[in-house]
Amino acid sequence: MAKIILSEGQPYVVPGSGLLRFEAFTMGTQDADVQLELKGTGSVNNLNPTTVLLASCTGPMSLMVRPRGEREFGPETAVRVMAKRRSTGESEMVLEFPLMPLAGVGECLLARLVPVGSGIEITPQSASVISGIDSSAMSMVAALRPRVGEGDRALEVEVILDTTASMSSPDSAGSIKAAAATIAGSCSALGASTVAVRAGLNASTVCGLPELEAKLLEVWESRHLAVGGGVDLTLAGLGHIGAAQPGTLRFLVSDTLCSAEMTPDTAMVHLLVGPTAAAEYELAERVAGAGGYQTHCIVVDHDLDTGMSEGQSPAIAKAAAVVEMVSRRLQATA
């Protein structure tokens, strides 16, 4: 059996002819009734709501999924499609489509199909086309959206990036990408479409959620070697970060704790990155436990990154709980 992993937005040509069987599998904390459909120019046989047979593709076609009996998919719902073909005299070919988060979505395009010579070109849809953000960020949306209501929506969002020397490791780039997905997903769930990004007391730049990852990497690359250009993360105070404007939800991306984490009422989510993130988180939990409050730190590690890319992980739920707590705290003091 040959298994091919398809990528978002990347076309793949299925060679040869023969029946192509598409089957949808739902994932998440809730069971979801889905209807898988192939629309367009071709010969199709609907075996059941989640399984479709494609006998021939003679023109453009769309692979669609929609909820059955509901207007939109429920929270934490995602779908993965598998396609199988067994041609005469050949071993079975299996195509695995990217996981598509569907929370709050109605009918959704999963892939486009077009005939190419004797084969079929299949291009999986990108989750960013639906929401403007990638599939990892959409996993965070799916985890956080059912936790928050209209009263928990952020008015403004600010992202502060630590660009001191300890953040200059090349490994930081990967952590920053995962942090960007966490922040973008959180903002989308809270109804914020733009964020202000800055390093230390430097001037901030406003960008949309789809551009957040690129903006954070741009700031990191341009500032991480600048002496004194980063954030003062000593336990002495927040002097180099500055006071937040009322109603502003803050995300701090750093590899070190700062004094903001040592208080129970700060409306800031601290995303800990780098090799010392776990140790810093343990310190934050001890301090918070002694003070009788919950820490507002999130460890951005392999578990969170993998969990978001696969759409299901306790790490996502834990991160969503932190954002929910800080968001509610912000609303209570607004």
**What value, to the nearest 5°, has the Cα angle with vertex 128 and ends 152 and 108?**
90
- The whole-angstrom separation of Cα 11 and Cα 113 is 9
Q: 163 near 229, Cβ under 8 Å? A: yes
State mean pLDDT over 83-89: 74
Mean residue pLDDT across the chain = 80
Q: 308 near 178, Cβ under 8 Å? A: yes
State mean pLDDT over 41-66: 92
H helices present in the chain, as ranges = 127-131, 135-144, 171-189, 212-223, 277-291, 302-310, 314-333
Q: 69 near 77, Cβ under 8 Å? A: no
Token digits of residue 262: 């040592």
Number of Cβ atoms within 10 Å of the Cβ of 23: 16
pTM, two decimals, is 0.64
Question: Which of 17, 9, 95 lies closest to 58 in space, CA to CA?
Answer: 17
pLDDT of residue 234: 42
Q: 4 near 12, Cβ under 8 Å? A: yes
Higher-pLDDT residue of 243 and 287 is 287
Residues of the chain with CATH 3.40.50: 135-333
Class of 135-333 in CATH: alpha beta
Q: What is the pLDDT of residues 230-247, one digit of tens each?
A: 444 443 334 456 666 777
Q: What is the pLDDT of residues 97-123, one digit of tens each?
A: 988 877 767 778 889 899 998 899 999
Sheet with 297-299, strands from edge to edge, namely 205-208, 194-198, 156-161, 248-254, 268-272, 297-299
pLDDT of residue 48: 93
Q: Averaging pLDDT over each range in 111-120, 163-172, 213-222, which range is the top one? A: 111-120
